[in-house]
Amino acid sequence: MVKIQFIERDGHPEFAVVPIEVWERIKHRTGEWDDGTLPGHAEAREDGFRIPAAILDAELAGDNPIKAWREYRRMTQDALATAAGLSKPYLSQIENRKRDGSVEVFQSLAEALHVPLDVLVGREGK
């Protein structure tokens, strides 16, 4: 279980402090903003797409984003593999991080899951 510390001001949560290993897994979702450019940057890139808390929770627990989205969409591996034009064993290996997929494979998965490609492609270490 991940321990997150909440810091309150006037009885309302204002900050969340997360362990560094959690930050390393999710920092790619924040972009490269500083306090001065965040509002303008967020407005300029607004596309209406939101990542549900259930997805973030699953990723924080260690799930591959593809598996997290598949389960969120209530799809079986068979259904997703068929929709993306993949074999079920290949999808399973990608979900379990035993094989890498090509850009084309990830694009097919993104289309089948109705999500932007960048939410499936991890950018750890960047």
- Per-residue pLDDT tens over the stretch 80-110: 999 999 999 999 999 999 998 899 999 999 9
**Per-residue tokens: 36:** 């001065």
User: Is residue 57 a part of any domain in this protein?
Assistant: yes
What domain range includes position 94? 50-119
Whether 7 is in a domain gets the answer no
91: CATH = 1.10.260.40
Residues 6+ apart with CB under 8 A from 105: 84, 86, 94
- Per-residue confidence of the chain (126 residues) as pLDDT tens digits? 667 777 888 888 777 787 887 777 776 665 544 444 444 433 334 567 788 888 888 888 889 999 999 999 999 999 999 999 999 999 999 999 999 889 999 999 999 999 999 889 864 433
Q: Which residues contact 47 (CB under 8 A, 6 or more apart)?
A: 116
**Does residue 40 form part of some domain?**
no
Counting the structural domains of the chain, the total is 1
**Considering the domain boundaries, does residue 82 fall inside one?**
yes
Long-range CB contacts for residues 116-122, cutoff 8 Å, separation at least 24: 116/47, 116/49, 119/51, 119/55, 119/65, 119/69, 120/65, 120/66, 120/69, 121/65, 122/28, 122/65
Please report whether residue 99 resides in a domain: yes
